[in-house]
Amino acid sequence: MSERKLPRFIMCFCTGECPGFAKLELWKFINFVRNELDVEYAIVHPQLCVDDGDRFLKDYLREGETDTIYIIGGCDPRMQKKMFKDAFAEKGLDVDKQLISLDLRNMPTEEVMRKVQEAVEQALK
């Protein structure tokens, strides 16, 4: 039996200016995700919901690969789904099954780490 693919994690850091992420120690956090959690890799993007973010997602999502889970940390999950669904659809991916969106605003680094750890465990089930 083949093993499930490791999830891929993107932290959308909202330009770095968003007060919602003021408490987050970004590099400590992203190094925790890439070194300690079972992810394929972890990256930081400055702003996924604008034109260059959209172009990035369309480059980044693996066409037709329906068993990869993408975990995106950022703002409200419903907003994320609205903003990213076209890029997923264009690559033949199911946004409802393959995207785990996490609202990581307004919480300290340890809590953010815990939330992402839970999402990775959920993705690997």
74 binds ligand SF4 (CB under 6 A): yes
Among 47, 68, 109, 117, binds ligand SF4 (CB under 6 A): 47
Strand order of the sheet with strand 99-103? Answer: 41-45, 8-12, 70-74, 99-103
7 binds ligand SF4 (CB under 6 A): no
48 binds ligand SF4 (CB under 6 A): yes
Nearest to 99 by CA among 124, 125, 123, 65: 123
71 binds ligand SF4 (CB under 6 A): no
Nearest to 84 by CA among 123, 62, 53: 53
**Site residues (vs ligand SF4, CB under 6 A):** 12, 14, 18, 47-49, 74-75, 80, 83
